[in-house]
Amino acid sequence: MTENRVQPANDLFLKALRGETVERPPVWMMRQAGRYLPEFMEIKKKYDFFTRCQTPELASEITVQPIRRYGMDAAILFSDILVVPQAMDIEVEMKPGIGPWLPNPVRSVADVEKAVVPDAEDALGYVMDAIRLTNEKLGGQVPLIGFAGSPWTIFCYCVQGQGSKSFDKAKAFCFSQPEAAHALLEKITQTTIDYLKAKVAAGVHAVQLFDSWGGMLSPADYQEFSWQYLQRIVDALKDLAPVIVFGKGCWFALETMAQSGASALGVDWTLTPQKARELSGGNITLQGNFDPARLLSPPDTIRRMVREMIRGFGKDKYIVNLGHGILPEVPVEHAGAFIDAVKTYREEG
């Protein structure tokens, strides 16, 4: 499964995932390939969202743009979590000013039955082509991360039909039609496992699971409708490549996540580094957790806060990142200050 993965010259990220001692922690940013970069905006003017995702030349170019500009320690493939439902024959559009839009949301047993479990290599082959092309462009400089949404987060969009502050329709479907909900979650899980295995075979060095809407659920409902499916994905992938699990708002599940076999856990900005270490047991690599809005602070403030954050987590078993995706309005100089503060970090004494 690993024949396409070249050991990168900069392996700081992979060392941190293995829990090895490092001179400084590695750094990358969620959504680093995209909307805050002027070079990305030039491509955006010419091609719609899913054209960018589905065209390997465009996806690979967008992926390497931030590496050229800032020299992060890892690249993350430009794509979207909603290519999975598209592959399952669930129509997804990206509407300007609205975001994801599903014209025919899943609301019944019959709708669940219509969803297919595709051959990932076949239905999502353009992603695998983008991985191979991206690795060529990276030239073995840094590792490449592949990703997928958690089954629960994908489910939220499939049932709600668009983004939401509460995902009330998705939750109502779970609580009123649990059998149908689990049937859909099962199909999404199977598709995601096949998809991530294909990504590893195509050449990604690690995978990240985004449970963006996990924090919408109570701890008991999280276990039932999200975590059990995430655990199955971790079990299926962990011997093939390192797995990072990021659950936004899921601090209550960090103890369970830490025992899952994942290589690292992402944490958001609503808890301190010390509390994140405490809740996760202190032995697993953590990733995060700078508030993306804090990148709107003056660069000197950003540098100071990043150094404080690293001291809080400790330099080992730690990957510097944001607590969620970078905001489109962040100035490029501020993103640069964030990256530079990590790259110039050295332990005192």
Give the residue numbers of the binding site for substrate.
Answer: 31-35, 50, 80, 157, 212, 324
How far is residue 39 from each of residues 45, 270, 289, measured CA to CA in Å?
10, 32, 26
**The dihedral sign for the CA sequence 51, 54, 55, 57:** positive
Query: In this structure, what is the dihedral angle of CA atoms 77, 18, 271, 255, given to the nearest 10 degrees?
Result: 110
* Residue numbering of the annotated binding site: 31-35, 50, 80, 157, 212, 324
Q: What region does 246 belong to: left with phi over 0, alpha with psi -120 to 50, or beta?
A: beta
Reading the block at residue 177, the tokens are: 């039609």
Per-residue exposure over 284-307, b if at least 16 CB sit within 10 Å of its own CB, e if not: bbbbbbbbbebbeeebeebbebbe
3-state secondary structure of 179: helix
Q: What region does 288 belong to: left with phi over 0, alpha with psi -120 to 50, or beta?
A: left
Q: How far is CA 114 from the centre of its chain?
A: 27
Per-residue exposure over 45-63, b if at least 16 CB sit within 10 Å of its own CB, e if not: eeeebeebbbbbebbbbbb
User: Among 267, 227, 215, 272, which residue's Cα sits nearest to residue 244?
Assistant: 267
